[in-house]
């Protein structure tokens, strides 16, 4: 069956009523809500849903409607980089769906969101309109606070929508990409300098592992720090390799790994070579696997 997965990241991880309203808006459209993960320090929620094109498109619009009514970026704080109330909306091909179909959907939905909400829209990854817009971190650099100045640069005119930020919602980044694994490793220290040094050691852009993006972030509520990673090609750099690299880099500073976590769902293949225990992934359940959720949601449409 041609299915599409969508994994929007919303800039709200502290107000349960807003998170619940977003989830209910998605589910009401008929798309299958496979997972929802929120974090208070990041002040961010990640929703994973899937279905055929019509249902997924409807779910994106329903989610954005709720989020833009409920989130004001002028008062938003959190450790995770962000540009907008609905920060990023990636479309991911599943089953018989091609990446080109997801590119088409991303561009069409991006244009619709811009027209509907007077919202600047940037396209990224496979849907990007220029090489310098391929990487999410490049598009998002400067965050919400730097968005006004960024939009004044000729290189950063939005793909759709106005050249000034939405007053409360900033801008949204829409794209198409393969399956990505959001994988975090928590360190048994509160030293942010260590987390940042470890992140620099493991990420591709500073000479680390291929297909790994990483940031060092503080988790103030727990009094620890985190190496937050995106694994953009888990077949080339596995979860086990990323974990081992973080563990070894942290050990050079005399710091141990506390635990790891997966944000959202993970393909079964990605964990096949490394069991959850070997990467210090506590209490991992089968329903965190993408394939299990898709099977359980046999009514996906």
Active-site positions read 80
Residues in Cβ contact with 204 at an 8 Å cutoff, skipping those fewer than 6 apart: 210, 211, 212, 213
Q: Can you list the positions of beta strands (E) in the chain?
A: 2-6, 9-10, 32-39, 44-51, 86-95, 121-125, 172-176, 181-187, 212-219, 224-231, 257-263
Q: How far apart are CA 162 and CA 151, in angstroms?
A: 9
In this structure, are residues 175 and 135 in contact, taking their beta carbons and an 8 Å threshold? no
Instruction: Enumerate the H helices of 164-263 as residue ranges.
Output: 192-202, 239-251
* Pick from 183, 261, 253, 182: nearest CA to 222: 261
Instruction: Tell me how far apart the 2 most distant CA atoms of the chain are, in Å.
Output: 53
Q: How far is CA 108 from CA 20, 111, 131, 277, in A?
A: 27, 5, 20, 42
Assess contact for 151 and 120: CB atoms under 8 A.
Answer: yes
CA 211 to chain centre: 15
For residue 265, the number of C-alpha atoms closer than 13 Å in the C-beta half-sphere is: 26
CB of 224 within 8 A of CB of 189?
A: yes
Q: Please tell me whether residue 41 adopts helix, strand or coil conformation.
A: coil
**SS3 state at 301:** coil
DSSP summary character for residue 110: H
């Amino acid at each position: 069956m041609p299915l599409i997965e969508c994994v929007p990241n919303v800039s709200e991880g502290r107000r349960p009523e807003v998170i619940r309203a977003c989830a209910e808006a998605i589910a009401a459209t008929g798309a299958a809500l496979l997972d929802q993960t929120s974090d208070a320090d990041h002040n961010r929620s990640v929703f994973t849903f899937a279905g055929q094109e019509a249902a997924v498109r409807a779910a994106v619009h329903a989610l954005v409607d709720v989020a833009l009514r409920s989130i004001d970026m002028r008062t938003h704080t959190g450790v995770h980089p962000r540009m907008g109330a609905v920060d990023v909306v990636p479309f991911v091909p599943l089953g018989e769906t091609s990446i080109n179909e997801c590119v088409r959907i991303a561009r069409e939905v991006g244009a619709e969101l811009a027209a509907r909400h007077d919202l600047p829209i940037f396209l990224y990854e496979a849907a990007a309109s220029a090489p310098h817009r391929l990487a999410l971190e490049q598009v998002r650099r400067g965050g919400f606070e730097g968005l006004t100045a960024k939009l004044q640069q000729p290189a950063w005119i939005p793909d759709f929508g106005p050249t000034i930020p939405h007053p409360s919602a900033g801008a949204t980044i829409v794209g198409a990409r393969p399956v990505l694994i959001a994988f975090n490793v928590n360190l048994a220290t509160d030293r942010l300098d260590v987390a940042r040094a470890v992140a620099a050691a493991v990420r591709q852009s500073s000479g680390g592992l291929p297909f790994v993006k990483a940031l060092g972030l503080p988790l103030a509520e727990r009094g620890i720090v985190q190496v937050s990673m995106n694994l953009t090609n888990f077949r080339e750099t596995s979860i086990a390799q990323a974990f081992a690299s973080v563990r070894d880099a942290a050990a050079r500073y005399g710091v141990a790994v506390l635990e790891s976590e997966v944000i959202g769902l993970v393909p079964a293949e990605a964990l096949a070579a490394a069991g959850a225990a070997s990467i210090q992934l506590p209490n991992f359940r089968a329903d965190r696997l993408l394939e299990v959720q898709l099977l359980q949601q046999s009514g996906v449409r």
